[in-house]
Structure 1
Amino acid sequence: MDAILGSLMILVMSLAVEAELKNEFYSTSCPKAEATVRSTVESHFKKDPTIAAALLRLQFHDCFVQGCDGSILITGSSAEINAKANIGLRGFEVIDDAKSQIEAICPGIVSCADIVVFAARDAVVLNDGPGWAVAAGRRDGRISLSSETSSLPAPVDSVSVQRQKFAAKGLDDHDLVTLVGAHTIGQTDCRFFSYRLYNFTSSGQPDPSINAEFLPQLEALCPKNGDGLKKVALDKDSPAKFDVSFFKNVRDGYGVLESDQRLWEDPATQTEVKNYAGTFRGLLGFRFEFEFPKAMNKLSSIEVKTGTAGEIRKVCSKFNS
């Protein structure tokens, strides 16, 4: 009985937090907030289309640590941004640009945390992905510690580890596979997967799960002892379009990151991949463009701070004094 009551209390608390976020949160207090973020993202996207994936990744890394509270934006030697798991994160200048414009018209109203979530949605749209209503009302956190980033998924994680990390944030297998689908527009560095090409599990051999036709392509992109910072698309077929080809690549052994390819080896996640790839029981499967927004809304509701919690930062990179 105690366990049941405890579960009910957790559910009620969770629903209460989500209820405090609402669509068009700034419709009265700062009606141009979302439009300002959108135009800012578009401006930066025109100069560098790869910024879209960077902004999407920024939301993931923010929400998995301390919840969706803008803690990833804080600078400082001990801040999250300096953790090994956050190497290569970028897009901060887009958030700062949007924030400065919004502060000029609505000072002290719009949180950096909400700007991150708005920007991620707008980035998906710019890559021919779906748009969706973003519930807002998040407050910015006052803690950012690199020592607390162990909850972030890593490229070497097995499915069981990925599952544990997502479950700890209230996300299930369906959410896991759906959200990893964001890699359809992403890039990674050679250093994060080259071990799969030359010395998988210290064997001196390549990862046998890599498609034999794909292996020489990856080796050409990332030569042994080559530039570890060289960028490689996570979706070899349509890296600039938000579509389901990423899932087809995982199905066919063309996953670049080990963590992505392992989704095919676990029965539960394989079923999810098949659904999106359109090869499950002869059916088209789930509609990625419908499921991704739902998963993103769940992600953006993780451990949010609302009401009087946290603060509304004046500058996204530092706490208010």
Structure 2
Amino acid sequence: MAALLNLILTFSLLTIANSLSLNYYHKTCPDAESIVAKAVKAAKAVDKTVPAAILRMHFHDCFIRGCDASVLLNSKGNNKAEKDGPPNVSLHAFYVIDNAKKAIESACPGIVSCADILAIAARDAVFLSGGPSWDVPKGRKDGRKSKASETIQLPAPTFNISQLQKSFSQRGLSIEDLVALSGGHSLGFSHCSSFNSRIHNFDATHDIDPSLNPSFASKLKSICPLKNQAKNAGTTLDPSSTTFDNTYYKLILQGKSIFSSDQALVDTPKTKNLVSKFATSQDAFYKSFVKSMIKMSSINNGQEVRKDCRVVN
């Protein structure tokens, strides 16, 4: 039964993906993409963490109900929205999407979905950080539901390779997609809470995860002591955390990844080969990342074009 449901889900996602178009707004809102790029660029000039925030926001949107901008909706009444679910409380830079939407609504009201704006902004976030660019298929619609309880579906930083593969395959994404999209961790920051279990009381026989490089583990322990941990303590996901490059994969091979879900990518021959390939060739990583981003961001089953990204029409 589960296999049948996954097959139906994958088929429906492919059908939806095929309905998107590169020139969807060519006649109705030709300046849409340049307006979004301007908003992302302006925000990045003030806050260098914006690109990582936008890319993460897009991932977290797509993995729940498809890329339908449900992550942008505010909680209302008794309904607690996705953005207020535990994995999403650290999401930020929603104002960037608001700014882009406001500018687009002035140019061509009621035409461009918030889901498309977020997908375009994620591409711009990568490009403005030194990464590749690509043509974003457009035509997504915005969803009308957003539930914090559904955020448990997001892949956790503690996932092992089997859990990661299952999570991605349920969304029609392959093992190569898994390894390539994990490269999004080239950008960003993690709070101690996401990796504490690797550096304190790891298991009955190890205080520290043995897959961690010992000197790197010591550094993490100094940043995140077991006691008196500062509320916002943490570390960047890699030393070049504002530059989109292949450093992330090199760190995995050195045992210097932050999340156990990152280190898990060397736990099977196929995923380890891909990690090695991307660590060796940034160009190979970029090509696979672009292909996988287009595939992931084409998952959509929304119903409307919101006037305000934070509330349904």
- TM tier, shorter chain? over 0.9
2:285 is the alignment partner of 1:288? yes
Q: TM-score, normalised by structure 1?
A: 0.90
Work out the CA distance in 2 between the residues paired with 1:163 and 1:86: 22
Aligned match of 2:194 in 172, 177, 192?
Answer: 192
Comparing 19-28 with 193-202, which one deviates more in the overlay?
193-202
Rate the CA distance shift 1:216–1:41 in 2: closer, same or farther, 3 A: same
Structure 2 matches for 1:156-235, cutoff 5 A? 156-201=158-203, 205-225=207-227, 226-235=229-238
The answer for the alignment partner of 1:61 in structure 2 is 60
- Return the offset for 1:61: 0.4
Work out the CA distance in 2 between the residues paired with 1:47 and 1:155: 29
- Return the offset for 1:286: 6.7
Equivalent pairs counted in the alignment come to 306
- Name the aligned partner's letter for residue 168 of structure 1: Q
The answer for the alignment partner of 1:299 in structure 2 is 296
Work out the CA distance in 2 between the residues paired with 1:203 and 1:30: 60
* Structure 2, unpaired ranges of 5+: none
The answer for the alignment partner of 1:142 in structure 2 is 144
2:77 is the alignment partner of 1:75? no
Work out the CA distance in 1 between the residues paired with 2:287 and 2:54: 20
Q: Secondary structure at the match of 1:188?
A: strand
- Name the aligned partner's letter for residue 196 of structure 1: R
Work out the CA distance in 2 between the residues paired with 1:262 and 1:10: 26
Whether the aligned pair in 1 keeps the contact of 2:10 and 2:170 (CA below 8 Å) is: no
Whether the aligned pair in 1 keeps the contact of 2:202 and 2:208 (CA below 8 Å) is: yes
- Return the offset for 1:213: 1.9
Identity score, percent: 41
- Name the aligned partner's letter for residue 179 of structure 1: L
2:32 is the alignment partner of 1:33? yes
- Name the aligned partner's letter for residue 126 of structure 1: L
- Return the offset for 1:204: 6.4
Work out the CA distance in 2 between the residues paired with 1:259 and 1:122: 26
Comparing 224-233 with 21-30, which one deviates more in the overlay?
224-233
The answer for the alignment partner of 2:127 in structure 1 is 125
Whether the aligned pair in 2 keeps the contact of 1:140 and 1:312 (CA below 8 Å) is: yes
Structure 2 matches for 1:240-319, cutoff 5 A? 240-278=242-280, 284=281, 287-302=284-299, 304-305=300-301, 310-319=303-312
Q: Secondary structure at the match of 2:90?
A: coil
Whether the aligned pair in 1 keeps the contact of 2:198 and 2:209 (CA below 8 Å) is: yes
Work out the CA distance in 1 between the residues paired with 2:254 and 2:41: 34
Q: TM-score, normalised by structure 2?
A: 0.92
- Two-structure CA RMSD over aligned residues (Å): 2.1
- Name the aligned partner's letter for residue 99 of structure 2: D
- Name the aligned partner's letter for residue 287 of structure 2: F
Work out the CA distance in 1 between the residues paired with 2:10 and 2:306: 30
- Return the offset for 1:150: 2.5
Comparing 143-152 with 133-142, which one deviates more in the overlay?
143-152
Work out the CA distance in 2 between the residues paired with 1:36 and 1:110: 11
Rate the CA distance shift 1:204–1:117 in 2: closer, same or farther, 3 A: same
Whether the aligned pair in 1 keeps the contact of 2:82 and 2:88 (CA below 8 Å) is: yes
Work out the CA distance in 2 between the residues paired with 1:81 and 1:14: 23
* Structure 1, unpaired ranges of 5+: 279-283
The answer for the alignment partner of 1:281 in structure 2 is none
Whether the aligned pair in 2 keeps the contact of 1:190 and 1:227 (CA below 8 Å) is: no
Q: Secondary structure at the match of 1:232?
A: strand
- Return the offset for 1:188: 0.7
Comparing 79-88 with 45-54, which one deviates more in the overlay?
79-88
Q: Secondary structure at the match of 1:53?
A: helix
- Name the aligned partner's letter for residue 71 of structure 2: I
Whether the aligned pair in 1 keeps the contact of 2:113 and 2:140 (CA below 8 Å) is: yes
Whether the aligned pair in 2 keeps the contact of 1:173 and 1:269 (CA below 8 Å) is: yes
Q: Secondary structure at the match of 1:227?
A: coil
